[in-house]
């Protein structure tokens, strides 16, 4: 069976414009995803490299979106000139005609299309580098003890509140340390009304939480 002949290929400018729209959509989706999980990012104990990786990715996503948005504008300027007729030959009588391109305008076509391609290629590059930054952040996210910090705080307040027979809203954390030797968190909570201090030890895992008066 003979292979079906494909239809006319799309214009290269249509392809570039469609790619630019896709880059903007991807950038917006990734920025929205980062914003949705920003509270978890802030609460975590990120390494310096992870923080830089995330900041690097956010900046590059913004640049990728901006350069992608510049592509249709630059492309429109080029196509408007290309759609006009060539300027009259030098020395020929001229008359004002909006369909005729001015010589300087006609000569700027190469520059206009260069900037169009430049913006398109930069948007792809910025997006690729942003994804690299997000991968770095993903691999360097807090793990182990840092991930359990919020859980330890919740457990400490709950147990200390029951021990002191006070609402947890009347307590505040004075200090919190991770003890690597015992693989546990050690917190000192203070009663806002009586100024009494409670030392709470929250082991990671299933071991029970212990609480006593702090010296």
pLDDT of residue 87: 63
Per-residue pLDDT of 96-114, as tens digits, reads 545 666 777 777 777 788 8
Q: What are phi and psi of 210, to 5 degrees?
A: -115, 145
pLDDT given for residue 92 in this prediction: 47
Q: What is the pLDDT of residue 51?
A: 75
- Domain ranges in the chain are 12-139, 149-213
**C-alpha–C-alpha distance, residues 18 and 20, integer Å:** 5
Contact 208, 163 (CB under 8 A): no
Q: What angle do CA 177, 180, 183 make, to 5 degrees?
A: 95
**Alpha helix locations (H) across the chain?**
12-36, 38-43, 48-82, 103-107, 109-139, 149-164
Give the pLDDT of residue 77.
79
Residue 75: pLDDT band (50, 70, 90) is confident
What is the distance between the alpha carbons of residues 160 and 147, in angstroms, rounded to a whole number? 21
Q: How confident is the model at residue 124 (pLDDT cuts 50, 70, 90)?
A: very high
* Threshold 0.85, pTM exceeds: no
pLDDT of the residue at 98 = 52
CA–CA dist 77, 113 (Å, integer)? 9
Dihedral, CA of residue 147, residue 151, residue 152 and residue 153, to nearest 10: 110
Class of domain 149-213: alpha beta
Average pLDDT, integer, range 26-53: 71
pLDDT digit string (tens) for 162-193?
A: 898 888 888 888 888 888 888 888 889 999 88
């Amino acid at each position: 069976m003979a292979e079906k002949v494909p239809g006319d290929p799309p214009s290269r400018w249509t392809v570039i414009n469609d790619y630019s729209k896709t880059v903007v959509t991807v950038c917006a989706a990734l920025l929205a995803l980062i914003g949705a999980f920003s509270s978890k990012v802030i609460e975590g104990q990120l390494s310096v490299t992870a923080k830089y990786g995330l900041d690097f990715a956010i900046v590059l996503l913004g640049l990728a979106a901006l350069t992608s948005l510049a592509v249709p504008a630059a492309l429109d300027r080029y196509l408007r000139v290309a759609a006009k007729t060539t300027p009259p030959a030098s020395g020929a009588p001229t008359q004002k005609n909006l369909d005729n391109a001015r010589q300087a305008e006609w000569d700027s076509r190469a520059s206009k299309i260069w900037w169009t391609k430049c913006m398109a290629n930069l948007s792809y590059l910025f997006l690729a580098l942003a994804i690299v930054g997000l991968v770095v952040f993903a691999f360097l996210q807090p793990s182990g003890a840092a991930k359990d910090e919020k859980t330890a705080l919740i457990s400490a307040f709950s147990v200390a509140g029951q021990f002191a027979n006070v609402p947890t809203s009347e307590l505040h954390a004075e200090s919190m340390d991770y003890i690597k030797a015992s693989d546990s968190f050690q917190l000192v909570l203070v009663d806002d009304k009586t100024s009494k201090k409670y030392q709470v030890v929250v082991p990671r895992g299933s071991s029970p939480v212990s609480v006593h008066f702090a010296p």
